[in-house]
């Protein structure tokens, strides 16, 4: 159409068309160009708009935090779920309302306060000093600009001002504190026994008629969902790296150029005594003085290990005489590490203050840095160099992959011809489940989109992981279909067996509890059911087994036994386990036997909890009174 106009429109007619087109462009098009794209709003709270770009940054940041905490095994389905996205939006709304409130009430953070906070943040320090290059690199890695990070921290510090002001209104009476100490230090003498599902499975008999009846009653449940198979090409760093040849001279040069990297760093073994910090200048000075006294005793010949067992509050090392094992650089907080690497073997430090408290440190062994022989690291270096080359090639080819897939969406052949990528095929998968590349929910979603399933086009470029990209197209598709009895009979049989066994497990467990309540002796019932008695550790901190922890939740929630009359209880602690217990005695903790340091720690914990509850209630009230609108379709 445009070419026809160009060929036929000549002379004054052509100029008239140009003028008519140019006027609206001049009036609106150019203005729109300079204004930029309109931001998409995903929520509004009391007139404050939350923009999609800010939401996407917050979503990505929260996803990264969860992956760092849980590792790569964290299910991507949850991170992409509407529930998770709504949690992020709700958090942003709460923050926006809190900012609005704090701004209206005059809460402010000065430039000096902001700079002091940033410069004292240890994550931005190198060798104990603020490192501006490290600061800019870390916030850049988080996807933020310096200005954006500072604005974010200013807002957070302003909210913290308000949180602190609320927390300061909380208080703990001596009665409350003593009661908390009694509960925290109580001990319960109890024994337990468990019934296992597997023992009840042995007596379950499922007939063909049972299976047929279950199938007939729930035909709608037994169907095969729509499924697809796809043909795909894969661009991965691993495949590119494997094809790269590395000359041995390049490997040797890399080894020679980085002697520090290819050496076994010197390490030290150390023991310590930890005295936790206590709120208040006077209390902290008392802790420091106690640490100094322990230094004098240790230097005077006292057994350091015995001092650690007696005084250290580090539960992990105190029982080992304070032994921390081998310590390498970067493994401990900076003040502790600086002290360790300044001491010689056998020396004892002055009191060292960290965020955890005051430490008395003894270095027990020192080893020197040793070069790793070239032959030991030859293959590792070659692999790293291949990897580096593969990453560089990956970056170049990734852009071409996207362009070719977009410009020629009717076939994967151009990708094989131009990039040399082999066409592979997937197994069958549904929209909810798959293996291989289809284990990725983004692949399943794209495979059942109209573009791929109906129009028969290539998918867009999909990131399987940071090192792997794929493009695919439909190979085969089959519709949802009812499944035949013979296809699901084994599944139904297993379901019915578990159902009957779980019912029998629950009935047996409840029958034992009823018999105990009616006065049947504990030992008689254990013998009747072939159960084995086990003792539950008396103190909560001594219980480390997950199964015993679940039982302890029930035991420590039970009422106190009367004189000579134990308390019986129990219940299912998992679908496969029913536990019964006998609680014989409860010994409450003695607040007068608790050291002042622990009292202050518990008081601080209670105050912190009360402050958090006050702030949570305050935010809930703000949200309840606010005019909030969330556009779920834009998340």
CA angle 68, 73, 79 (to 5 degrees): 70
The whole-number pLDDT of residue 79 equals 74
The whole-number pLDDT of residue 2 equals 29
Domain count, the chain: 4
Residue 349 pLDDT exceeds 70? yes
Distance CA 155, CA 9 (A): 60
DSSP 328: -
Q: Are residues 215 and 230 in the same domain?
A: no
Quick one: tokens of 393?
Answer: 């090639």
Q: How many CA atoms lie within 13 A of 549 on its CB side?
A: 6
pLDDT-based confidence at 33, cuts 50/70/90?
Answer: very low
Q: Is residue 593 part of a domain?
A: no
- CB-count burial class (<10 Å; 0-12, 13-18, 19+) for 530: exposed
Q: Give the containing element (helix H, strand E) for 235.
A: strand 227-236
Q: Are residues 276 and 335 in the same domain?
A: yes
The whole-number pLDDT of residue 256 equals 87
Instruction: Quote the longest CA-to-CA distance of the chain.
Output: 114
Share of the chain above pLDDT 90, in %: 47
Residue 77 pLDDT exceeds 70? no
Mean pLDDT for the stretch of residues 512-535: 94
Mean pLDDT for the stretch of residues 151-179: 83
Q: Is residue 228 part of a domain?
A: yes
Of 404, 391, 416, the residue nearest 232 (C-alpha): 416
pLDDT-based confidence at 304, cuts 50/70/90?
Answer: very high
The whole-number pLDDT of residue 38 equals 56
Q: Is residue 557 part of a domain?
A: yes
Quick one: tokens of 215?
Answer: 């199938």
Nearest 10 degrees: Cα torsion 321, 326, 327, 332: -50
The whole-number pLDDT of residue 322 equals 92
Dihedral sign computed on CA atoms, order 182, 185, 189, 191? positive
The residue among 587, 602, 622 that closes a domain is: 587
The whole-number pLDDT of residue 19 equals 44
Q: Is residue 175 part of a domain?
A: no
- CB-count burial class (<10 Å; 0-12, 13-18, 19+) for 117: middle
DSSP string, 525-578: HHHHHT---EEEPSSGGG---HHHHHHHHHHTTSPPPBTTB-EEEEEEEETTEE
The whole-number pLDDT of residue 37 equals 47
Distance CA 526, CA 518 (A): 15
Residue 11 pLDDT exceeds 50? no
Q: Is residue 64 part of a domain?
A: no
Q: Are residues 505 and 450 in the same domain?
A: no
pLDDT-based confidence at 9, cuts 50/70/90?
Answer: very low
Distance CA 328, CA 365 (A): 12
Distance CA 571, CA 555 (A): 11
The whole-number pLDDT of residue 3 equals 34
The whole-number pLDDT of residue 68 equals 64
Per-residue pLDDT reduced to its tens digit, 103-130? 888 788 888 888 888 888 888 887 777 8
Q: Are residues 515 and 550 in the same domain?
A: yes
The whole-number pLDDT of residue 329 equals 73
- The least confident of 65-79, 138-152, 278-292, 369-383 is 65-79
Per-residue pLDDT reduced to its tens digit, 184-209? 889 999 999 999 999 999 889 999 99
The residue among 368, 392, 408 that closes a domain is: 368
C-alpha to C-alpha distances, 531 to 57, 183, 189, 498, 576, nearest whole angstrom: 55, 31, 19, 21, 15
Sequence-ordered alpha helix ranges (H) in 105-243: 111-119, 132-141, 146-167, 174-184, 197-201, 208-217, 237-242
Q: Are residues 471 and 511 in the same domain?
A: no
pLDDT-based confidence at 74, cuts 50/70/90?
Answer: low
Of 322 and 151, more confident: 322
What b/e sequence results for 546-562 when a residue is b if at least 16 CB atoms lie within 10 Å of its CB, and e otherwise?
A: eebebbbebbbebeebe
The residue among 432, 448, 482 that closes a domain is: 482
Residue 435 pLDDT exceeds 50? yes
Of 315 and 428, more confident: 428
Q: Give the containing element (helix H, strand E) for 401.
A: helix 374-407
Of 526 and 542, more confident: 526
DSSP string, 585-629: EEE---GGGS-HHHHHHHHHHHHHHHHHHHHHHHHHHHHHHS-EE
Residue 23 pLDDT exceeds 60? no
The whole-number pLDDT of residue 28 equals 41
Q: Are residues 322 and 362 in the same domain?
A: yes
3-state secondary structure of 635: coil
pLDDT-based confidence at 29, cuts 50/70/90?
Answer: very low
Residue 30 pLDDT exceeds 60? no
Q: Which residues form the domain of 18?
A: 2-35
The whole-number pLDDT of residue 306 equals 93
Mean pLDDT for the stretch of residues 294-310: 93
Question: Domain of 340: which CATH number?
Answer: 3.10.50.40
Residue 443 pLDDT exceeds 60? yes
Q: Is residue 190 part of a domain?
A: yes
Q: Are residues 410 and 435 in the same domain?
A: yes
pLDDT-based confidence at 7, cuts 50/70/90?
Answer: very low
Please state the length of the chain. Answer: 635
The whole-number pLDDT of residue 24 equals 42
Residue 557 pLDDT exceeds 80? yes
Residue 448 pLDDT exceeds 60? yes
Quick one: tokens of 343?
Answer: 């001491």
The whole-number pLDDT of residue 35 equals 42
Q: Are residues 451 and 517 in the same domain?
A: no
The whole-number pLDDT of residue 143 equals 66
Dihedral sign computed on CA atoms, order 16, 17, 19, 24? positive
Q: Are residues 441 and 467 in the same domain?
A: yes
Quick one: tokens of 205?
Answer: 């008999």
Residue 13 pLDDT exceeds 80? no
Q: Is residue 103 part of a domain?
A: no
Q: Report the chain's mean pLDDT, rounded to a whole number.
A: 85
Q: Are residues 361 and 415 in the same domain?
A: no
Q: Are residues 279 and 201 in the same domain?
A: no
C-alpha to C-alpha distances, 550 to 105, 510, 554, 571, 578, nearest whole angstrom: 47, 18, 7, 10, 11
Of 221 and 231, more confident: 231
Mean pLDDT for the stretch of residues 52-68: 80
Q: pTM of the prediction? A: 0.50
The whole-number pLDDT of residue 17 equals 41
Of 377, 376, 375, 396, the residue nearest 385 (C-alpha): 377
Nearest 10 degrees: Cα torsion 99, 78, 71, 123: -10
Quick one: tokens of 440?
Answer: 């990725």
Task: Please report where in the chains the tokens 């009846």 appear, as a residue.
Answer: 213
Q: Is residue 162 part of a domain?
A: no
Which residues lie below 8 Å from residue 87, measured CB to CB, with a gap of 6+? Answer: none
Residue 39 pLDDT exceeds 90? no
Segment 358-361 long-range contacts (CB within 8 Å, at least 24 positions apart): 358/274, 358/275, 358/277, 358/287, 358/288, 358/290, 358/291, 359/272, 359/273, 359/274, 359/275, 359/291, 360/272, 360/273, 360/275, 360/291, 360/294, 360/295, 360/298, 360/307, 361/270, 361/271, 361/272, 361/336
Distance CA 462, CA 473 (A): 12
DSSP 348: B
Q: Are residues 502 and 551 in the same domain?
A: yes
Which residues lie below 8 Å from residue 414, measured CB to CB, with a gap of 6+? Answer: 404, 408
Of 491, 492, 509, the residue nearest 200 (C-alpha): 509
Distance CA 151, CA 462 (A): 33
3-state secondary structure of 44: strand
Residue 80 pLDDT exceeds 80? no
pLDDT-based confidence at 446, cuts 50/70/90?
Answer: very high
């Amino acid at each position: 159409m445009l070419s026809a106009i160009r060929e036929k429109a000549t002379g004054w007619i052509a100029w008239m068309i140009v003028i008519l087109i140019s006027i609206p462009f001049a009036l609106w098009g150019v203005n729109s160009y300079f204004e930029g794209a309109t931001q998409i709003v995903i929520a509004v709270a009391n007139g404050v708009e939350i923009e999609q770009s800010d939401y996407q940054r917050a979503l990505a940041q929260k996803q990264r935090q969860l992956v760092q905490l849980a590792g790569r095994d964290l299910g991507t389905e949850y991170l992409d779920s509407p529930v998770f996205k709504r949690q992020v939006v709700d958090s942003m709304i709460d923050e926006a309302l809190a900012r609005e409130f704090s701004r209206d009430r005059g809460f402010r953070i000065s430039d000096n306060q902001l700079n002091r906070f940033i410069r004292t943040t240890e994550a931005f320090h190198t060798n104990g000093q603020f490192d501006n290059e490290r600061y800019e690199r870390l916030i850049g890695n988080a996807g933020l600009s310096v200005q954006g990070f500072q604005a974010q921290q200013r807002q957070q510090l302003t909210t913290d001002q308000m949180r602190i002001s609320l927390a300061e209104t909380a208080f703990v009476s001596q009665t409350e504190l003593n009661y908390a100490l009694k509960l925290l230090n109580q001990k319960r003498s109890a024994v337990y026994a468990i019934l296992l599902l597997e023992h009840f499975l042995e007596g379950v008999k499922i007939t063909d008629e049972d299976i047929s009846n279950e199938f007939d009653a729930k035909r709608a449940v037994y169907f095969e969902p729509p499924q697809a198979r796809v043909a795909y090409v894969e661009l991965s760093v691993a495949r590119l790296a494997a094809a790269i040849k590395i000359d041995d001279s390049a490997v040797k040069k890399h080894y020679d150029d980085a002697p520090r990297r290819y050496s076994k760093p010197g390490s030290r073994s150390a023991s310590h005594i930890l005295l936790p910090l206590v709120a208040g200048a006077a209390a902290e000075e008392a802790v420091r003085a106690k640490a100094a006294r322990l230094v004098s005793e240790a230097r005077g010949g006292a057994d350091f290990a015995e001092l650690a067992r007696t005084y250290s509050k580090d539960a992990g090392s105190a029982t080992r005489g304070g032994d921390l094992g081998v310590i390498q650089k970067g493994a401990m907080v900076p003040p502790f590490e600086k002290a360790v690497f300044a001491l010689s073997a056998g020396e004892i430090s002055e009191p060292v203050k960290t965020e955890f408290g005051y430490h008395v440190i003894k270095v027990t062994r020192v080893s020197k840095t040793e070069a790793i022989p070239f032959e030991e690291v030859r293959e590792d270096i070659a692999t790293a160099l291949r990897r580096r080359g593969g990453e560089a090639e990956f970056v170049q080819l990734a852009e071409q992959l996207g362009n070719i897939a977009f410009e020629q969406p009717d076939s994967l052949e151009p990708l094989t011809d131009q990039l040399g990528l082999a066409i592979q095929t997937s197994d069958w998968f549904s929209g909810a489940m798959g293996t291989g590349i289809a284990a990725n929910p983004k692949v399943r979603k794209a495979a059942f989109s109209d573009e791929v399933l109906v129009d028969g086009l290539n998918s867009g470029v999909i990131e399987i992981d940071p090192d792997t990209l794929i493009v695919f197209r439909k190979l085969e598709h089959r519709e949802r279909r009812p499944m035949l009895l013979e296809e699901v009979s084994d599944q139904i049989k297993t379901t019915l067996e578990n159902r009957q066994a779980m019912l029998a497990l629950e009935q047996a467990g409840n029958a034992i509890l009823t018999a105990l309540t009616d006065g049947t002796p504990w030992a008689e019932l254990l013998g009747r059911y072939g159960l084995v008695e086990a003792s539950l550790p008396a103190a909560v901190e001594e219980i480390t087994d997950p199964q015993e922890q679940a039982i302890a939740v029930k035991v420590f929630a039970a009422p106190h036994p009367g004189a000579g009359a134990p308390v019986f209880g129990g219940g299912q602690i998992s679908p496969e386990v029913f536990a019964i217990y006998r609680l014989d005695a409860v010994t409450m903790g003695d607040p007068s036997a608790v050291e002042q340091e622990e009292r202050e720690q518990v008081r601080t914990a209670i105050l912190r909890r009360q402050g958090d509850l006050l702030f949570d209630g305050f935010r809930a009230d703000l949200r309840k009174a606010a005019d909030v609108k969330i556009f779920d379709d834009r998340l």
